[in-house]
Amino acid sequence: MAENWVRVRVNDQILDLMRDEDVIRSYPCSTAAKGIGELKNSGQTPRGWHVIRARIGEGVSVGSVFVGRRPTGEIWSPELAQMYPQRDWILTRILWLSGLEPGLNRLGHCDTMQRYIYIHGTPPIEPVGVPGSHGCIRMHEPDLLDLFGRVQAGTRVLVQG
Tens of pLDDT, residue by residue over 21-41, are 999 999 999 999 999 999 999
- Is-contact 20 33, C-beta < 8 A? no
**Percentage with pLDDT > 70 across the chain:** 99
- Strands, E assignment, the chain: 4-9, 14-19, 22-28, 48-56, 64-67, 70-75, 91-99, 118-122, 137-140, 156-160
- Domain hosting residue 64, numbered range: 4-160
Residue 83 identity:
M
CA 21 vs. chain centroid, Å, equals 21
- Number of domains forming the structure of the chain: 1
**Which CATH number do you get for residue 24?**
2.40.440.10
Cα distances (Å, whole numbers) of residue 127 to 44, 114, 130: 17, 26, 7
pLDDT band at 112 (very low <50, low <70, confident <90, very high): very high
pLDDT band at 3 (very low <50, low <70, confident <90, very high): confident
- Is the confidence at residue 2, as pLDDT, over 80? no
pLDDT band at 1 (very low <50, low <70, confident <90, very high): low
- Is the confidence at residue 119, as pLDDT, over 80? yes
Neighbours of 144 (CB within 10 A): 26
> Which pLDDT score, from 0 to 100, does residue 27 have?
98
